[in-house]
Amino acid sequence: MQFSNEPVVRLNKACIFQGITAILQDVTFQIDKDEFVFLIGRTGSGKSSLLKTLYADLPLKMGQGSVVNYNLNEIKSKEVPYLRRKLGIVFQDFQLFTDRTVAENLYFVMKATGWKDRSKMKTRMVEVLMRVGLGGAATKMPHQLSGGEQQRVVIARALLNEPSILLADEPTGNLDPEVADGIFKLFQEINKQGTAVLMATHNHELLRKYPYRILKCEKGRVLDSNETEILEAKKE
Ligand SMILES: Nc1ncnc2c1ncn2[C@@H]1O[C@H](COP(=O)(O)OP(=O)(O)OP(=O)(O)O)[C@@H](O)[C@H]1O
């Protein structure tokens, strides 16, 4: 059970590996429920590897970590789907099934995460689509939607199981600036309603515009704007 004052993410002296290569060392931070945090750093600095560790795609071999009360050091592979139910994961590439309608895409995830009651599934499907501003899209095929709309479906899919935190890897990367802005605002709304957000981004415009906390992957470490000044946010 998630107690209200417990952080949703907690890493302590964690070392993030790809194979036998240490990508990030001595990573210590926590993210509280309701927080919005940017994750930045140059290409190859370890942002995706860090996110993968948080959703248990990469094992945590050194240091301690917990995410929504799952201990990353001890998590067993059969528990990983339960952890992921408490996370909403949004990637840059939309990863929708292109041969299924929007509703079928959402039902697929619901079935895979234990939903059985058809009428509850339908209600939830409609709810999440409304929440992302796509109330009328259930019967559409992905190719009938714009890139921004497809990304909204992905966000709707991530919200199905009421996650404690959204992990987003460059969610606006492939979109026009205006469309990206709309998607970003959607993340903000979701955050205001009580879901933490950790968003990897290369978009410095966003950092200047929205003064949220920043974690920066740099030279094998993670810097935290709560503890040190991170200049990106101030650059014109
Ligand atoms: N599957 C993998 N096997 C081995 N090394 C990997 C693998 N994935 C990533 N790496 C390496 O780990 C390092 C960090 O990569 P990662 O993808 O985490 O960086 P990133 O900050 O997310 O980059 P980008 O901004 O380009 O997405 C890089 O040196 C990369 O080459």
pLDDT in tens, 65-85: 999 999 999 999 999 988 988
Residue 231: pLDDT band (50, 70, 90) is confident
User: Cα 70 vs. chain centroid, distance in angstroms?
Assistant: 16
Average pLDDT over residues 203-220: 93
Assess whether pLDDT exceeds 50 at residue 1: no
pLDDT value at position 114?
Answer: 87
Assess whether pLDDT exceeds 70 at residue 179: yes
pLDDT value at position 8?
Answer: 97
Q: Is 23 in the pocket of ligand 1 (CB under 6 A)?
A: yes
Domains of the chain listed by start with CATH number: 9-234 (3.40.50.300)
Cα of 105 to ligand 1 centre, how many Å?
28
- Closest-CA residue, ligand 1 atom 30, reads 44
Task: Give the number of C-alpha atoms closer than 13 A to the C-alpha of residue 177, restricted to the C-beta side.
Answer: 4
Cα of 84 to ligand 1 centre, how many Å?
21
Q: What are the pLDDT digits (tens) for 103-136?
A: 999 999 999 888 999 999 999 999 999 999 999 9
| Ligand 1 atom closest to Cα of residue 41 | 21
Q: Is 177 in the pocket of ligand 1 (CB under 6 A)?
A: no
- Closest-CA residue, ligand 1 atom 4, reads 18
Mutation probe of ligand 1 site: the residue of 23, 221, 222 with most atoms within 8 A of C-beta = 23
User: Cα 210 vs. chain centroid, distance in angstroms?
Assistant: 18
Q: What whole-number percentage of the chain has pLDDT above 70? A: 95
Residue 234: pLDDT band (50, 70, 90) is low
Q: Is 20 in the pocket of ligand 1 (CB under 6 A)?
A: no
Give Cβ neighbours of residue 77 (< 8 Å, ≥ 6 apart): none
Task: Give the number of C-alpha atoms closer than 13 A to the C-alpha of residue 62, restricted to the C-beta side.
Answer: 14
> How much is the mean pLDDT over the chain?
92
